């Protein structure tokens, strides 16, 4: 007999943006174009920074990281969404949903921290220009970038583990285009107010 325990949840159904076929095809074309422009634009930024030695500065080092994060974030969501636009059965396996949640949440957190680091870089450049090169040396820039990636990944790992340990109800329909954390949490059969508070607090901490 099937139970409500999350062990028996093998897949989720993503409801997406529309059930109308013509609308889904139009959205497929629109999002495909936007995705290709995003990937191409960010890779061009990275390539130009690599090729031009004048751009080998802390600001452009962080911009390279930000471009890679943007491409990765879009890739964690958009390909699956495009496939579902043309699919009749819009299901995503339990493991794939957890992986998508981890990567999208992690990359989003990394981007927030990177933006804060870039703001600090500009602060030093404006307020202490004579010592800028001494303060923002290569070692510090590398450590700040690593801190961004590690902090975002650890936060995402914690949130993903907490979310997928919740007992899931029989309702497996996610009213979203991807496995977004709040949409998944609200499928649980228990009170999730504490989970939602944790999500809110972690989001605020990463954005400060």
> Would the pLDDT of 170 be above 80?
no
Confidence of residue 4 (pLDDT cuts 50, 70, 90): very low
Confidence of residue 77 (pLDDT cuts 50, 70, 90): very high
Q: What is the pLDDT of residue 9?
A: 65
Average pLDDT over residues 109-130: 93
Q: What is the pLDDT of residue 89?
A: 81
Using CA atoms, how far residue 94 sits from 67, 141, 164, 171, in Å, is 29, 38, 9, 14
Average pLDDT, the chain: 87
Q: What is the pLDDT of residue 207?
A: 59
Confidence of residue 206 (pLDDT cuts 50, 70, 90): low
Confidence of residue 110 (pLDDT cuts 50, 70, 90): very high
Q: With b meaning 16 or more CB within 10 Å and e meaning fewer, what string describes 114-143? A: beebbeebeebbeeeeeebeeebeeeebee
Average pLDDT over residues 175-201: 81
Confidence of residue 6 (pLDDT cuts 50, 70, 90): very low
Residues 6+ positions from 17 with CB-CB distance below 8 Å: 23, 24, 27, 177
The residue extents of the domains of the chain are 6-207
> Would the pLDDT of 7 be above 50?
no
Confidence of residue 167 (pLDDT cuts 50, 70, 90): confident
Q: What is the pLDDT of residue 1?
A: 38
Helix extents (H) in 52-91: 58-85
Looking at the structure, give the CATH architecture of the domain made up of residues 6-207.
Answer: Up-down Bundle (1.20)
Write out pLDDT tens, residues 25-63: 999 999 999 999 999 999 999 999 999 989 999 999 999
pTM for this structure? 0.83
């Amino acid at each position: 007999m099937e139970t409500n325990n999350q062990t028996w949840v093998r897949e989720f159904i993503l409801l997406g943006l529309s059930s109308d076929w013509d609308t889904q095809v139009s959205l497929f074309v629109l999002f495909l174009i936007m995705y290709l422009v995003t990937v191409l634009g960010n890779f061009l930024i990275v390539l130009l920074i690599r090729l031009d030695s004048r751009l080998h500065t802390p600001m452009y080092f962080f911009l390279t990281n930000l471009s890679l994060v943007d491409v990765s974030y879009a890739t964690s969501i958009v390909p699956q969404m495009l496939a579902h636009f043309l699919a009749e059965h819009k299901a995503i396996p339990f493991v794939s949903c957890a992986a998508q949640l981890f990567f999208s949440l992690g990359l989003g957190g990394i981007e927030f921290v990177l933006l804060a680091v870039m703001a600090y870089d500009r602060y030093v450049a404006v307020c202490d220009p004579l010592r800028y090169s001494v303060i923002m040396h290569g070692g510090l820039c590398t450590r700040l970038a690593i801190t961004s990636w590690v902090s975002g990944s650890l936060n995402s790992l914690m949130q993903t583990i907490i979310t997928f340990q919740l007992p899931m109800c029989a309702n497996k329909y996610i009213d979203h285009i991807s496995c977004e954390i709040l949409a998944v949490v609200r499928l649980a059969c228990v009170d999730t107010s504490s989970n939602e508070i944790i999500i809110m607090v972690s989001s605020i901490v990463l954005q400060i």
